[in-house]
Amino acid sequence: MAEQENRKLSLICSKGSLDMAYPPLILANAARMTGIDVDLFFTFWGLDIITRKKIKHLNVATVGNPNMHPWFHIPTWAGSIPGMSALATAMMRKEIDKLDFPPVDEFLEMVHDAGARIFACKMSMDMMKLTEDDMVPYADGIIGAMEFMDYSKNAQVLFI
């Protein structure tokens, strides 16, 4: 009998705002806790989540975010007022603290320590003039999209 391959989840992380950092980390953590292999591929603005200088300073985007009104009771037009992004970010951090979730940097390292692999997109790195030294120390490497496709063979792929 052929040995069965473990389930795999590949997450493509393309957005670098605070509200978009948690969904892939929560999914990766849940997958690892259930024994599913996980690869995270950070591309375009998603690189902010694994960039040393930015990981602790992620913000919530208020302009063009239609969900600001029901969640923060802020009309969509008010998102363009100076300071609204900082206010929304502070409010979200407060809610995250209430749920006892770790900050993004700790959560990412925790997911990595649980066995998830973390990759930066080579093309996005080149475009943004970032180097390996700019990445968090536990990133597993800088790879191209084709290599990530190879890693994602037979995986469930989610674009976040």
Condensed to tens digits (0 to 9), the pLDDT of residues 103-127 reads 999 999 999 999 999 999 999 999 9
Is residue 131 predicted with pLDDT exceeding 70? yes
Tokens of 69: 């009104």
Check: CB of residue 13 under 8 Å from CB of residue 44: no
pTM for this model (two decimals): 0.88
Q: Could you count the other beta carbons within 10 Å of the beta carbon of residue 37? A: 17
The pLDDT of 4-10, averaged and rounded, is 88
Condensed to tens digits (0 to 9), the pLDDT of residues 41-76 reads 999 999 999 999 999 999 987 766 666 655 556 666
CATH code for the domain defined by 18-159: 3.40.1260.10
The C-alpha atoms of residue 157 and residue 155 are separated, in whole angstroms, by 6
Order across the sheet with 8-13: list the strands: 141-143, 117-121, 37-42, 8-13, 156-159
Q: What percent of the chain has pLDDT over 90?
A: 74
Mean pLDDT of the chain: 90
Task: Give residue 3's pLDDT band: very low, low, confident or very high (50, 70, 90).
Answer: low
